[in-house]
Structure 1
């Protein structure tokens, strides 16, 4: 279960209380003072409602209090005595993102499938093609700003797997209208470990990315750089990214991959872009004679 963080404690006695109401109608009163920052307020609300802070969003009237104000005082963001703060509880710490890495804020898989790179490539086009290829899978997710961005191969895999205490797993529906995506659509539970591609995208070329896909096109798609990014910006995105691929699968793999190495070829590339807070992935499974 989620372990709530330590509640905010001022050096002095609280001078007023802030009423926080959820969309569903429950409420809590949060002790506060003029020196309390919005970030400390979020921690206190997290404690009061026993919910992880990355799942909480706050608003005053119709103005959302989003990222970038955590160091500001409550008075600076408009939370003063007598104001009521509305709190929404998010369902997860990630969202589908568009081709430029912008979060969609809703679990709309149809929007995820609308990547159009014009003269560039869709993520699914990065994978090698063959006559016996199982359906390829690809997508971009935005890691919520209140969740810790995965910075290692182990953390990336755990993020994709999800957990009961943090967020839902990253699953792909069979098609855009499928309301119940299943584990068979992704390889995350099949993977024993990921390994970093220390040479960046170049390390993926021989096996995990089609050689006829240009470096710039692949980098744009994986780094969510957008079709209008110039060469310098694209290079900056690439330097900010970490690339990962398969190190091995479990002997009982049965979701998307299968375990027999002699009869199967597996391709996977994951790009973690902390600058954009995106995880872009593409994978393929091929039966080999």
Structure 2
């Protein structure tokens, strides 16, 4: 009976699907038997035929050939996922005490603003920086630090080299963080159930991500999450208005809470800046 290499591998696959992993010597054993059976014949399976069989076998089993010697490189985005599965894993990935860093772009009425936002989820401290352009010079910095139920706001204006400082009692409240991009807001959006649709695995600036999209009457809401860690990578919202579309894009980075990642949250007033006088107000601040 003439049994080909394909038949040998298929038999091996059926034999080992109980634990979804082929035995280490499956491919080697099948190849040796096939060489003996086909010795002296002019036509064989060929390199491409063997490669195709191995690829199908490994994809079906979820395993890999025995004893790989080279790094297989980054894995491609999962393909057989539902919106519910992606949302559940993305919500779980938002747990923790990471320092959140956001690069934002907002466009409305023909004007585009750029900024960065750092947010310490443990203390509620944050910093907002307005930029003249992506990666350009800062035009304004705003630090909001929480200490003993008091919010201290320090706003630095780089164009006229001045700054303001104001304290406000929190009365048990907590600063909300970056609007539209806080972990709480991202979790709430992801828990909307069947609101999003899974557009599919895509490449985002060389990174494998999963793309979720929600269309509503006057706009859209899109989320991209890392295909391996399920961390939020980007959120983009569009709202249709009589004056044109308002677009807000936020690119996320999540950094372990270390002395280095907390450095941007330390208030820094450049030398030579003068403090502005607060305008008079009626009643309590």
What TM-score comes out, normalization by structure 2 length?
0.23
What TM-score comes out, normalization by structure 1 length?
0.22
Higher alpha-carbon Rg: 2
